[in-house]
Structure 1
Amino acid sequence: MIIHYGPKQNQHLRVYINNMHTKAMGLNDVVIDPMEKAREAMGKLDEALDYALNEITRMGAYQKKLQYTIDNNTTAEENVTSAESVIRDADMAQSMMNYVKDNILTQTSQAMLAQANQNRGAVLRLLQ
């Protein structure tokens, strides 16, 4: 089985799962009676136990590798989300600053027009 775990083409893990049936471990014909057969069975059981422990160890290594990859991908996702948030916040701050600047310019223009209109009125009164 191949598990692809990253964005790059070569980021994959080949997982080999061996047959764990009793026949594959040589236990399908185990006999425990008479005593001599039981002793033979003990040897087969020891071999099967070694086989099973080897498989468990290999599966643990696969699990460790995949857990590391999950943790690494989670950290990368959090970093991207944080960076995106900073960019959005910066855009929001820039937009707010532009709004305030435009608002001040509009109010200043209105005040200048009002002042100019008052000055015209004062000049007209002087001329009358």
Structure 2
Amino acid sequence: MKEIVQSALDNYVLAYKNNDKELFQSLWDDHAVFEDPVGADPCNGIEAICAFWDFGHSNGMEIIPTNVETIICANEGILKAVMQVRNIADNSGMDISIVDHFIINERGKIISGRAFWDDSTITQPKDVNSIDINVDDFKDRG
């Protein structure tokens, strides 16, 4: 099971690195639940999870995971990373240090994802303009 979980986490990272929505979608069970960040209304089901992807990748946005670390226990995995959020249209961005917790089923599909981050884990890189984000507004993205 460890290899199955590791593969799911590796492909999650790869989907973001390559801006590959099809790969991202293929990782999730149709009835999965994704909470990003924890405390936001969860995305219930594959359609809502794909809408979340679209929200995060709209208007020139890219999200690149760096400094990736994983820990696997049974059918669960932790993914620690810095998500470099960049808007290539206006050279703005931010870095978000995240800890994601995933539960993977026997078919290798993510059935639960929970992303832990808040205002205190957001930093401003020196080489890009600032993106203003209010975590509470982000949680209400609808």
Q: TM-score, normalised by structure 1?
A: 0.22
State the structure with more CA Rg: 1
- Structure with the greater relative contact order (CA < 8 A, sep ≥ 6): 1 or 2? 2
Select the structure that is richer in helix. 1
TM-score (norm 2): 0.20
Structure with higher strand content:
2
